[in-house]
Amino acid sequence: MLKRFLVPIVLVVVLVMSGCVKTKSDVEEGAKPGNDGKKDLSKVQVELLGMSSGESDLNIVRDQLVKNGFDVKLNLQPDYGSFKAQQDAGNYDIALSGWTTVTGNPDYAVRSLFKTGGDYSIMSDSEIDSLIDQAGTETPDEYQATYKKFEERLVFDKAYIVPLYTSYKTQAVNKDILNLDSVRLSKSRSLPWEEIEFNDASKNATDPLVLSQSMSTLTSLDPIKGNDGSINIINTNMHVRLVNLTDDDQITSEGSLSLNHSIAEGNSEYYFLLRDDINFAKVDSKKAVDSGERVGADDVIFTLNRAKDKDSVPDHRTYTLHEHIKDIEVITDLGSLETIKQSGSDETVKAALEKGLGNTINSLVDDKTKANSEEGMYQVVKITTTEPFPQVLNYLAHQSAGIVSKKQVESINTFDVASFDVNKDIPYGDQNTVTEGSQYNNTLYTSGPYILISKNDYEAEFQKNPGYMTGTKHEPKISNVTMRFIKDPDSTLAALRNNEIHLFYAVPETKYDVVESDSKLSLQSIESNAVSYLLFNTKNREVSESEDLRKAILYTINQDDFISFYKGNKTKAFSTLSPIVKTGNELVADPAKAKEFLNKYQETK
């Protein structure tokens, strides 16, 4: 019985099913050749290098490449150290890279990355070099066109990089504890701690402000010896600079060592009128005390001279930022300021420097201890650049230009730089001198609102500088700051929600929902200067030789996929300049073009 009906039943089922079921080949008919994850020898293999923190981006790139006929080999490294080692060894075709322009000026966004011989540059293209140099001397109105040309050469013509997206900068704040209005979020500038206050102002003097950071090994507390995530925020809050950046990356004297600054005609001379109400802080038996030494012109000159000099300290990491500084001098001749006009205006430099001051400038002094703003006695510092270079002010606002004490640094760094022995000599700012234990010997002299008392693997403790702009609105509100070192963002978020920390900087996109659904937290967000891009290997690889192959990859990448993956929390980018200069360039994914370039590449092979 059963068997007699079996065959017809099966046949009918198959017929009915095949009528209404679409198979994969039906759907893909006429479309690109399918990819079933199997290896095809004719496919071009590319090796993709990245860190596991960029796993999501790597997966999107991998997916797009695979869908466009590439065979992708992933080289996933657990941390930056191993990533860098792989990159230096050249074990990649494409490396997932990121760049944040912490100074907020376009020159920094391109010089060290793409110019021949730049700090992080692996390429050499004379046209790119000349465009970078040309744009550096230009004003914002002029450089827009130059940078547009530069971008076109970098991406469209040569395909040295493939831009992915621009990120937002976010922080989550516990608004039940902190006064939300006092917590700033700036595009480039690090968070100024001195402005933050508790909702309950009576706690400012007693309770510590608890922040967090992922890295517990601090590169160096000497501002010029580090430029990375482990010390940028710390050094910014420990050292005052000649100028600051506003939240949207404009130059300002507000909250800096200068009361006013002015650019003289010709864009090569820069004048700064110094404050007289900042003293260096030092640590005495684990307490921050006023050293009694004022921050003055001699410290500025000493700081900037060592900042631009490659050989001033061993392992100098930031001299390229300051290579445009030619001379730094203190001005004592008040008359000279009255004759020089300010750039782009009829006002004299003196008038510009006096703007908003209670007292006019009566005289200029050489000795910092004699300066007295009440009596109109001031110090003025003049910086001359090697060529007209208005963006120098952005570099002066960077943490590496933080003012250090001439007296103190000279008394610590007594060794000879050329014969520096890492086992014997202890340079100023060495993190071991502030780490709890036998080597503890805190010799820091800080000009900023806070000073680091001590640290261990779990946290660092800061106290306010008692001699920092006392009585002004810039005097630090909260007396004690604790920086917790929490490696993993998930744990950091948990700590924030448990009131263990008060603020979480750089919330991952996947956690926005969680932060927003927590009533005591507030998520602040601003466009940042952080750009992610793919960098091609420039040596000994197919991609380094073939422009066609690079372009095939360039047109494969679809930025919209990244934006939808991050739920709109990323924006399009064209180069590392994108967040700073609006050039109007846009990369549009074009599978047809990608195919065309890939075919071209395969023909020439």
Residue 561's SS3 state is helix
For residue 269, CA distances in Å to 357, 385, 393, 470 come to 22, 7, 11, 31
In whole angstroms, what is the distance from residue 97 CA to residue 95 CA? 6
CA 29 to chain centre: 47
Kindly tell me which residue out of 44, 46, 49, 60 binds other proteins, with binding defined by CB under 8 A.
60
Residues in contact with other proteins, shown as a per-residue x/- string from 545 to 574 under the rule CB under 8 A: ---------------xx--xx-x-------
Radius of gyration, CA atoms only, the chain: 28
The distance of closest approach from Cβ of residue 585 to other proteins in the complex, given in angstroms and rounded to an integer, is: 24
66-125 binders of other proteins (CB under 8 A): 66-67, 74, 76, 78
Question: With binding defined as CB under 8 A, does residue 513 bind other proteins?
Answer: yes
Q: Report if residue 490 touches other proteins, rule: CB under 8 A.
A: yes
- List binders of other proteins among 335-394 (CB under 8 A): none
**Tokens found for residue 311:** 């050989």
Which C-beta is closer to other proteins: that of 560 or that of 586? 560
Contact flag: residue 524 with other proteins (CB under 8 A): no
One-character DSSP codes across 91-159: --SEEEEEEE-TT--HHHHHHHHHSTT-TT-----HHHHHHHHHHHTS-HHHHHHHHHHHHIIIIIIT-
Region binding other proteins by CB under 8 A among candidate stretches 1-9, 213-221, 299-307, 416-424:
1-9
Q: Is 43 in the site for other proteins (CB under 8 A)?
A: no
Does residue 24 bind other proteins (CB under 8 A)?
yes
Nearer to other proteins, 357 or 495 (CB): 495
Tell me the closest approach of the beta carbon of residue 93 to other proteins, in angstroms: 16
| Under rule CB under 8 A, residue 519 binds other proteins | no
Number of residues interacting with other proteins: please give it, by CB under 8 A: 41
**C-alpha to C-alpha distance for 187 and 526, rounded to whole angstroms:** 6
Distances (CA, A) of 402 to 191, 242, 280, 445, 518: 15, 8, 12, 12, 37
List 1, 8, 17, 346, residue binding other proteins (CB under 8 A):
17
Specify the residue, 26 or 421, whose C-beta has the smaller distance to other proteins. Answer: 26
CA distances from 232 to 192, 213, 249, 555 (A): 12, 11, 16, 36
Contact between 45 and other proteins per CB under 8 A: no
Amino acid at 407: K
Tell which one of 4, 8, 25, 414 touches other proteins (CB under 8 A): 25
Query: What's the CA gap between 186 and 250, in Å, rounded?
Result: 11
3-class SS of residue 513: helix
Does position 56 bind other proteins by CB under 8 A?
yes
- Return residues touching other proteins (CB under 8 A): 2-3, 6, 10, 13-14, 17-18, 21-27, 34-37, 52, 55-56, 58-60, 62-63, 66-67, 74, 76, 78, 490, 510, 513-514, 560-561, 564-565, 567
